[in-house]
Amino acid sequence: MTTITIELPSERLKKLQEMALKFGISMEELVRVSVEDMLTQPEEKFRTAAQYVLKKNTELYKRLAA
């Protein structure tokens, strides 16, 4: 695992501390989970949309393939 360092304005750091306290986790864990969520979200949205389109158009695809 790699460690990174970021700079935050003091008001953002305070908000981060408050949120971490609210969820009962460390600030580092909150940031890590948030970054992981952000990095996987577009992929999940695309996969969900693709599955919807494929399911919705299954009959059409079958007719076109015949």
Write out pLDDT tens, residues 28-66.
Answer: 999 999 988 888 877 888 888 888 888 888 887 777 787
pLDDT at 60: 78
Sorted by where each begins, the domain ranges of the chain are 10-65
Distance from C-alpha of 45 to C-alpha of 4, rounded to nearest angstrom: 27
Name residue, tokens 């990095």: 39
User: What are 7's two structure tokens?
Assistant: 């700079």
Distance from C-alpha of 60 to C-alpha of 47, rounded to nearest angstrom: 20
Specify whether the backbone of 39 is left (phi greater than 0), alpha (psi in -120 to 50) or beta.
Answer: alpha
pLDDT at 17: 96
